[in-house]
Structure 1
Amino acid sequence: MMVSVSGYPWRFAFVWIALLALTWLALFSPLTRGWNGACAALVLLAALVCIATATRRMRARRTSTQHVVRSIDAALASLPADLKRNTPLVLTIGEQGSVLSRVFDKSAVIVTDTAIWVRHDDPSKLMHLADALKRWRGGQGPDAVAWLMTSDDPASAVALQATLKRWRVAINEASRALGYRLPICIAMYATETRDRPLDCPWFGVSAPAPLDLPATAGQLSVLLGAFAERAMPEDRQPRAFTATQLDALARWAFEAVLPPLLDTRRGLQALTLNAFGVTAVAGPMLPDSLYGQFIAATTALDLPAAAGITQRYPLPIPLIRGIAPQPVRRALPVALAHAFAWLSVWFCAAAAASAWQNRALVSGVLAHMARYEAIPPAQDAARVDALTALKRDRDRLEHYASAGVPPRLGLGLYRGAPLLPVVNRLIAGYQPPAPAPSTIELDSMSLFDSGSSKLKSGSNRALIGALEMIKAHPDKRVLIAGHTDSVGSAGSNLALSEARAAAVRDWLADASGLSVTRFAIQGYGDTRPKAPNDGEAGRAANRRVEITLVPDCRVDRGDGFTHGHPACS
């Protein structure tokens, strides 16, 4: 399927594609800002280059064909304005300086009752001429190509093949430019040495559909045979000579001319042959031409090379009548269809980018939620980091809910709304850990016998709580203070309180696996009573061991030693 380029608004198409690309980069691209800027610059550069190239080619086409269009306008100036659309237009091609000059003389255009015949002899510009004629006719391109050949043109097989290939490529390029296969009419002239003009009709086949070569050859033979048989007795011999000559010309064309034009084995697209015909005209004959050599090898005809008159060659008007006119093919509907197709591609790309980014958004939020839920409450610092990420997600989702979803997440593909309540519930459910008790107070009588600093056998049950508190705060130092009642001397009470603090320290250090340097002990004796010592209840309250967590105030200066106080409160 070919795409029409004749009259096609290429510059509009390039601008439209560039706008779609830039819009996608600005609204839907998942790339970073730097990559989006680089891609936008490339899009603009490519659009400018394409627009400049299209403008230059359009001007070149118009410059190379404007003289032909002016000639057509001049030839049709006295005719009705709608004639150029209602009358078939035929591109008439052939080798320069041979058959075309004998058909058109010095004219570029011939207008008949059947068609408008436009002369052209340059294969390299055939595409430009076809494009100009389609513009001139308001979207209706040429209806056919009439390829005029004489039997004496090719001087060698190599020259014939080169000519056929050159025009075949040119016709295919013109067809691609117009957007449809150009019907081809091949008209061949056989010359006879006569002293008066030869009134010979056209013998050929013409149809709306491509011709079948074997069937066409058979029909031509029948027509030529009938032409010779229906002659008057005095004209029977000249007619038989003409019929035989034309039959040989047709057979030579079917063997040497038409197969290369219809062959698809060489990678070229075959031409659409809708008409073929032969006729005879008065003119000089060249026995050394390819056709003359074919006549000499296959028939008994004698082709004299004597000079004679040369008549003007007739146009193949009967052959054109069987070719169906081409409909109007305007470029604007095609351009609009292409613009809609590019818009569809843009929408698909935007939807794909939106789906990808929505998936990334949902995956990121779910990953943050899973990370937060996987952290145990005891690791509060890690939970706070995960909670911070969840709060960022919450803020972003709330912004989308209040201000609207950005285009890169839109197009009906946004999936962040159901996640907002879940994120809010997780954030609201966060409970900071309870502050650790700064001091644990232990009853000395539950740890020691009266007057003793040796721990009882069952005292470890009372120390388990202190041990767990110490393990939960490995960054703190431990201060152990012993206290007694006022019974006994002050000195003995001070020593006893310090010894009991040391015993508790040793047990805790051994049970926790911490170095004793993490502990500090202090004996206060009876100097810090909690209650009056004049009663048994008061003295029992004063006999105690206090375990306190304090910050580590030592400073590590990088020399392997710590400096300052061991502990501070």
Structure 2
Amino acid sequence: MVAVVSGYPWRSVFVWIALLPLIWLALFSPWPVGWNGACASLIVLAALICIALATRRMRERRASTQHVLRSIDAALASLPADIKRNTPLVLTIGESGSVLSRVFDKHAVIVTEAAIWVRHDDPSRLMHLADALKRWRGGQGPDAVAWLMTADDATSAVALQAALKRWRVAIHEACRALGYRLPVCVALYGTENGQTPSDYPWFGVSGSTALEMRTTAERIAESLGAFVERAQPDDRQPRAFVAAQLEALVRWGCEAVLPPLQDTQRGAQPLTLHAFGVTAVAGQRARDSLHAQFVAARTALDMPAGAGITQRYPLPLPLIRGIAPQPARRALPGALAHAFAWLAVWFCAAAAASAWQNRALVARVTADMTRYQAIPPTQDAARVDALAAVKQDRDQLERYASMGVPPRLGLGLYRGAPLLPLANRLIASYQPPAPPPSTIELDSMSLFDSGSAKLKSGSNRALVGALEMIKGHPDKRVLIAGHTDSVGSPASNLMLSEARAAAVRDWLADASGISVTRFAIQGYGDTRPKVSNDTDAGRAQNRRVEITLVPDCRDDRGNGFTHGHPACS
């Protein structure tokens, strides 16, 4: 059985269903802003369409059943206010202009001590009537459906099957609208020519459970037999004749009427038959009816045409008394259950999104810390860049710790807290590389004779310190600059200073095995004196060779530049 329709707050449920994904998109969605906006627009549009359709259907149902509800209110106006809930309500259906007009006359509602009988002859609107009655009774729907049929009205097998199918579909739609399966009572009227007593009883079976079709005819035949046996001698023959016709009517109903209602072919759902009965009424027989043909074939009884209707048809009161009233089924508990189910679905989606984003956060922070730890200390520029990413992660984790975890990472799934101390320890452990040693300054007179660019014997002692410094920094290039005093011409001094720088370079390259391409030489002559050249002491200080380490911005092949060091920008 599908979800209830009658009294169901569809519009409120649609608003609730639309509100949940909108909250999810705003607080938990891992998607980009553009995707969230597009999805939110589609959700709002779908909710508006559903609300509009629900409002339209509600108005249509109320308009189609308004006249029936007015008739019911008029009929029950003189009764106590709670009669509509305490008295069973029976939907009484049948073909238009036939049996219902003989039972109800011109009334739409009949109130008896046993039930409230509501007339209806339009299968297409039965669902709307059932829905309106349930709302009218505050959530308690009809208790049963009484399907009234006159045996002699059916003259065509095709028309009979079509009518049975039409009403069967209508009853199923009403059940879906109410949210439960309605018990069905099938009542057949057999017309009897002449003055039929008005107290002819109903012969049938009914109960709170579905009927057993195999024994229905036999049980009714037993009650017909007992009815004949209890008759007075002078009344036994007329009763026996009527009983024989009613037994034939029962056989015809069990073979032609009830089986189509219980057919399960093509996935059809059978009706829930709780009562079936027959009675005799004064009426006009039709010799060409299906029932008359059945009786003639089975019993050979002569069924002459009658003189017309002489009495109103009775309601099947005894058959309805055997059906248990339906309990109240209010729509609000069902709507609350559905709302809670949607909330559970929303919570699962929010938890899944939160878990996914927590996993992404942990993976990103862990990857940043792992990348920093994998860089050797010698590549300080790359380490600084990796450490900056770790610091950004640390700042984000500290913001979550101080200001609270955002909903997209919350719901008890946040996993960033253990990463904060790890990031702090990693940042605190960073030690910048020791600055390169200051420029080594060598006295030219300790390396060369006056006016010469050839290294003197024993000058290697002065160059050993420079050699150790160069080996300790394999990632640096070596700049060797020669300087002279102002004695002599500037041109000769410039050539001498460059030649002495080349001599020092050659010795260092040979001694260390380092490629000459790592060295650069520069002769400045007397253009950059440290002190004045006016004194012997000043000229002695100006005669020097300076060895300086500089960043190596070329690649290993010397034909390009490496990046990551400020000096190479």
Cα distance change of structure 1 residues 217 and 518 upon mapping to structure 2, 3 Å threshold: farther
1:440-455 alignment, distance < 5 Å: 440-441=440-441, 453=454
1:144-192 per-position Cα deviation (integer Å, ceiling 9, x unaligned): 0000111122232222221111111111111111111101001011112
Q: Does 1:434 align with 2:434?
A: yes
Residue range with higher mean Cα deviation, 345-354 or 304-313: 304-313
Alignment partner, residue 520 of structure 1: 522
Contact 2:437 2:469 in 1 (8 A): no
Q: Does 1:473 align with 2:476?
A: yes
Residue range with higher mean Cα deviation, 235-244 or 213-222: 235-244
Output the CA distance in 1 between the equivalents of 2:484 and 2:531. 8
Q: Does 1:320 align with 2:306?
A: no
Amino acid across the alignment from 2:239: R
Output the CA distance in 2 between the equivalents of 1:100 and 1:179. 27
Cα distance change of structure 1 residues 433 and 516 upon mapping to structure 2, 3 Å threshold: closer
Alignment partner, residue 566 of structure 2: none
Amino acid across the alignment from 1:324: A
Shift of 1:545: 4.9
The DSSP-based 3-state class of the residue aligned with 2:153 is coil
Output the CA distance in 2 between the equivalents of 1:144 and 1:455. 126
1:157-172 alignment, distance < 5 Å: 157-172=157-172
Shift of 1:453: 3.4
Shift of 1:365: 0.7
Output the CA distance in 2 between the equivalents of 1:222 and 1:456. 144
Identity of aligned residues (%): 71
Contact 1:217 1:250 in 2 (8 A): yes
Residue range with higher mean Cα deviation, 545-554 or 220-229: 545-554
1:415-460 per-position Cα deviation (integer Å, ceiling 9, x unaligned): 2122111111111221222222352456889999998937989969
Shift of 1:78: 1.2
Q: What CA RMSD, in Å, does the superposition of the two structures yield over aligned residues?
A: 3.7
Shift of 1:414: 1.4
Residue range with higher mean Cα deviation, 76-85 or 506-515: 506-515
Contact 2:21 2:346 in 1 (8 A): yes
Alignment partner, residue 77 of structure 1: 77
Amino acid across the alignment from 2:129: L
Output the CA distance in 2 between the equivalents of 1:270 and 1:446. 119
5+ unaligned residues in a row in structure 2: which ranges? 555-559, 561-569
Alignment partner, residue 557 of structure 2: none
Output the CA distance in 2 between the equivalents of 1:190 and 1:519. 129
Contact 1:448 1:456 in 2 (8 A): no
1:231-246 alignment, distance < 5 Å: 231-246=231-246
Alignment partner, residue 250 of structure 2: 250
Shift of 1:143: 0.7
Alignment partner, residue 422 of structure 1: 422
Shift of 1:307: 3.3
Alignment partner, residue 374 of structure 2: 374
Alignment partner, residue 566 of structure 1: none
Alignment partner, residue 354 of structure 1: 354
Output the CA distance in 2 between the equivalents of 1:213 and 1:447. 127
1:12-23 alignment, distance < 5 Å: 12-23=12-23
Contact 1:447 1:462 in 2 (8 A): no
Alignment partner, residue 51 of structure 1: 51
1:513-534 per-position Cα deviation (integer Å, ceiling 9, x unaligned): 454884435678xx9899xx99
Shift of 1:129: 0.6
Output the CA distance in 1 between the equivalents of 2:516 and 2:156. 110
Output the CA distance in 1 between the equivalents of 2:448 and 2:261. 120
Cα distance change of structure 1 residues 301 and 255 upon mapping to structure 2, 3 Å threshold: same
Output the CA distance in 1 between the equivalents of 2:85 and 2:192. 38
Count of residue correspondences: 547
Amino acid across the alignment from 2:413: L
Alignment partner, residue 27 of structure 1: 27
Alignment partner, residue 565 of structure 1: none
Shift of 1:242: 1.7
Q: Does 1:154 align with 2:154?
A: yes
Alignment partner, residue 174 of structure 2: 174
Output the CA distance in 2 between the equivalents of 1:185 and 1:84. 21
Q: Does 1:393 align with 2:396?
A: no
The DSSP-based 3-state class of the residue aligned with 1:152 is helix
1:486-535 per-position Cα deviation (integer Å, ceiling 9, x unaligned): 9xxx99999887555323434666844454884435678xx9899xx999
Amino acid across the alignment from 1:478: L
Q: Does 1:216 align with 2:216?
A: yes
Residue range with higher mean Cα deviation, 374-383 or 449-458: 449-458
Output the CA distance in 2 between the equivalents of 1:280 and 1:55. 47
Shift of 1:461: 7.0
Shift of 1:62: 0.9
Cα distance change of structure 1 residues 274 and 443 upon mapping to structure 2, 3 Å threshold: farther
Shift of 1:546: 3.3
5+ unaligned residues in a row in structure 1: which ranges? 555-559, 561-569
Shift of 1:201: 1.2
The DSSP-based 3-state class of the residue aligned with 1:191 is strand
Output the CA distance in 1 between the equivalents of 2:43 and 2:401. 34
Cα distance change of structure 1 residues 422 and 517 upon mapping to structure 2, 3 Å threshold: closer
Alignment partner, residue 288 of structure 1: 288
Contact 1:127 1:177 in 2 (8 A): yes
Amino acid across the alignment from 1:155: T
Shift of 1:115: 0.6
Alignment partner, residue 564 of structure 2: none
Contact 2:194 2:306 in 1 (8 A): no
Alignment partner, residue 335 of structure 2: 335
The DSSP-based 3-state class of the residue aligned with 1:37 is helix
Alignment partner, residue 126 of structure 2: 126
Output the CA distance in 2 between the equivalents of 1:344 and 1:70. 42
Q: Does 1:411 align with 2:414?
A: no
- TM superposition score normalised by structure 1: 0.86
Output the CA distance in 1 between the equivalents of 2:359 and 2:456. 64
Shift of 1:308: 3.8
Contact 1:189 1:281 in 2 (8 A): yes
1:545-556 alignment, distance < 5 Å: 545-549=545-549
